Amino acid sequence: MQTLTVELPDRHYPIHVGPGLLDDVSLLTPHLAGRQVMIVTNETVAPLYLKRLKATLADYDVHEVILPDGEATKNLEHVERIWDGLLAAGFNRRATLIALGGGVTGDMTGFAAACYQRGIAFIQVPTTLLAQVDSSVGGKTGVNHPRGKNMIGAFHQPRAVIVDTDTLNTLPARELTAGLAEVIKYGLIRDVDFMAWLEDNMAGLRALDAALLTEAILKSCAIKAEIVVEDETEQGVRAHLNLGHTFGHAIETAMGYGRWLHGEAVGAGMMMATALSHRLGWLEAATVTRVEALLTAAGLPRHAPTQVSAERFLELMHLDKKVMDKRLRLVLLKALGEACITDEVDEAQVRELLENWERQ
Catalytically active residues are: 118, 140, 182, 224, 234, 238, 242, 245, 249, 262
* CA 256/CA 253 separation, integer angstroms: 5
Answer yes or no: is 269 a known binding residue.
no
* SS3 (DSSP) at 67: strand
DSSP notation for 102-151 = SHHHHHHHHHHHHHGGG--EEEEEE-SHHIIIIITSS-EEEEEETTEEEE
Answer yes or no: is 54 a known binding residue.
no
Answer yes or no: is 219 a known binding residue.
no
Answer yes or no: is 167 a known binding residue.
yes
Answer yes or no: is 289 a known binding residue.
no
Q: Nearest to residue 63, comparing CAs of 95, 93, 103?
A: 95
Q: What radius of gyration, in Å, describes the C-alpha atoms of the chain?
A: 20
Answer yes or no: is 140 a known binding residue.
yes
* SS3 (DSSP) at 4: strand
DSSP notation for 149-174 = EEEEEEE---S-EEEEGGGGGGS-HH
Answer yes or no: is 321 a known binding residue.
no
Which DSSP category does 320 fall into? Answer: S
Answer yes or no: is 71 a known binding residue.
yes
Answer yes or no: is 344 a known binding residue.
no
Answer yes or no: is 306 a known binding residue.
no
290 CB-contact burial (10 Å; exposed 0-12 / middle 13-18 / buried 19+): middle
* CA 247/CA 23 separation, integer angstroms: 40
Contacts of 344 (CB under 8 A, 6+ apart): none
Residue type, 157: Q
Answer yes or no: is 274 a known binding residue.
no
* CA 50/CA 41 separation, integer angstroms: 8
Answer yes or no: is 109 a known binding residue.
no
Do the Cβ atoms of 99 and 124 come closer than 8 Å? yes
Answer yes or no: is 182 a known binding residue.
yes
Answer yes or no: is 165 a known binding residue.
no
Answer yes or no: is 268 a known binding residue.
no
Which residues fall in the annotated binding site for NAD(+)? 69-74, 103-107, 127-128, 140, 149, 167-170
Which residues fall in the annotated binding site? 69-74, 103-107, 127-128, 140, 149, 167-170, 182, 245, 262
Which residues fall in the annotated binding site for Zn(2+)? 182, 245, 262
